[in-house]
Amino acid sequence: MRTADRRELIVVGASLAGLRAARTLRERGFTGALTLVGDEPHPPYDRPPLSKRVLTAPGRPPGVALPVPHELDARWRLGQAAVRLDPVERTLTLADGTRLPYDGLVIATGAAARGRPAAEPPPPPGVFTLRSWDDALALRAALAAGGRLVVVGAGFLGGEIAAAARERGLDVTLVEAAAQPLAHAVGTTAGAYVAALHREAGIEVRTGTTVEDFLTRTDGRLAGVRLSDGATVRAGTVVLALGGVPSTGWLAGSGLAHDGGVHCDPRLRVLRTDGSVVPDVVAAGDVARVPQPLAGGERLALGHWTNAVEQGTAAAATLLAGRDPARAPGPFAAVPSFWSDLHGARIRSVGLPAAADETRVVEHDLAGRRLEISYHRAGRLVGALTIGRTGRLASYRLALEERLVPATAANAPAAT
């Protein structure tokens, strides 16, 4: 046994990525002080159910807490947003003015829901976004009132909210700026397939249009939306599902590169604006912009559940290794994956379909609820998506993994 570890480690962000990082620190033998900081008052919880069963379950809303092992032995600073990081002095400042010194820090502050542009007047009551547990409860209560729901943005989150509302018997209009839902994420074939699923379920899908304006009643409450194609849709509830924005505002003045997410090297170490490594600070999850070999090395922030788990684990390992090259883990090289459940269809994907320049449709059966598409970039496999064929994904994933592992081994000397 070593002598008592006097280091103080802080994990900023008490959601999936932060909790996984904290658990990994303990599992790998860190015995010093561990603090978790979270801007929400709630203990860690799981977000995927928020757009699914939390909205649809009858009776009381279902619990979504993530298990926190007793051995974590952490100090919790919940309901306290981090407001400032000083990586030179090695201090973190919280919203109440508390300054916490640290020896090592994990940035896992996630993302926030994208709202309307700041230049526009705030939307009227009845317009929601969905990111947090509190958001989900508010939306659940609004859906219970019935009427028509307009969902703005037909990405995976918007699609799931629309499907959940339809399951509850509401009339639903799904508004999408692009010509096809999800086209930028998974291509037009999968996008058209998902649009057909929505329409079969009785959802009105309006593409190629955006919300121009909110209509209000005399009491100021929402009455509907006016669209850019001139149409108006009457609705008592509107959800903006316009994607996420990495939560990096608190890093202003820190010297860290954080446009579009916290810039990381392949081992999840955080970078300054000049590209140099910040000692003893790592990042993970939705907030982290990490080089993606499948996207030609471009730095991407991936808002996926598995990404938060895998990066949380990997970032903790990097942090503990410190500057000891013997303990340094290799570059982060997990194959990304994501899923969505829509109208009973299980959409499952591996790799980075969004990075593809070519799609190959292997199977397409709308009635049988089966779909298999492979995605390629410069002729090489970069991803796959299936509906009702999850079993077929394993071989795609293996091929992607085999591609990533030799690539990262070749990159390793440059990363140290």
Partner 1 sequence: MQITVDMNLCESHGQCVFAAPEIFSFDDEDRLLYEAAPDDALLGQARKAAAVCPVRAVTVSPAAS
Cβ–Cβ under 8 Å, residues 113 and 130: yes
CA 13 to each of CA 76, 107, 248, 367: distance values in angstroms, whole numbers, following the listed order: 11, 7, 11, 43
CB of 36 to partner 1, least distance (A): 19
CB of 262 to partner 1, least distance (A): 23
Binding site for partner 1 (CB under 8 A): 46, 48, 67, 305-306, 309-310, 335, 337, 339, 341, 346, 348, 350, 388-391, 393-394, 397-398
Q: What are phi and psi of 6, to 5 degrees?
A: -95, 5
Enclosing H/E stretch for 233:
strand 232-234
The conformation of residue 82, written as its DSSP 8-state character, comes to: E
Taking alpha carbons only, the member of 188, 190, 156, 185 closest to residue 363 is 190
User: How far is Cα 254 from Cα 2, in angstroms, rounded to an integer?
Assistant: 34
Residue 64, by phi and psi: left (phi above 0), alpha (psi -120 to 50) or beta?
Answer: alpha
CB of 42 to partner 1, least distance (A): 18
Nearer to partner 1, 86 or 401 (CB): 401
User: How far is Cα 373 from Cα 359, in angstroms, rounded to an integer?
Assistant: 7
Enclosing H/E stretch for 127:
strand 127-129
CB of 269 to partner 1, least distance (A): 23
Cβ–Cβ under 8 Å, residues 319 and 268: no
Nearer to partner 1, 160 or 341 (CB): 341
Residue 398, token pair as written in the block? 């293996």
Nearer to partner 1, 114 or 346 (CB): 346
CB of 398 to partner 1, least distance (A): 8
User: How far is Cα 199 from Cα 135, in angstroms, rounded to an integer?
Assistant: 26
Nearer to partner 1, 175 or 385 (CB): 385
Q: Please classify residue 88 by burial: count the beta carbons closer than 10 Å to its beta carbon, then call 0-12 exposed, 13-18 middle and 19+ buried.
A: exposed
Nearest-5° Cα angle at 130, 129 to 136: 120
CB of 339 to partner 1, least distance (A): 6
Q: How many other C-beta atoms are found inside a 10 Å radius of the C-beta of residue 173?
A: 22
Contacts of residue 34, Cβ cutoff 8 Å, sequence gap at least 6: 9, 10, 11, 22, 25, 26, 72, 73, 74, 75
CB of 345 to partner 1, least distance (A): 11
Nearer to partner 1, 58 or 67 (CB): 67
CB of 34 to partner 1, least distance (A): 19
Nearer to partner 1, 157 or 271 (CB): 157
Taking alpha carbons only, the member of 57, 87, 152 closest to residue 114 is 152
What share of residues in the chain are helix, strand, coil (percent, to 5)? 30, 30, 40
Residue type, 174: L
CB of 13 to partner 1, least distance (A): 19
CB of 80 to partner 1, least distance (A): 28
Nearer to partner 1, 299 or 348 (CB): 348
Nearer to partner 1, 126 or 336 (CB): 336
Nearer to partner 1, 102 or 305 (CB): 305
Nearer to partner 1, 346 or 364 (CB): 346
Residue type, 73: D
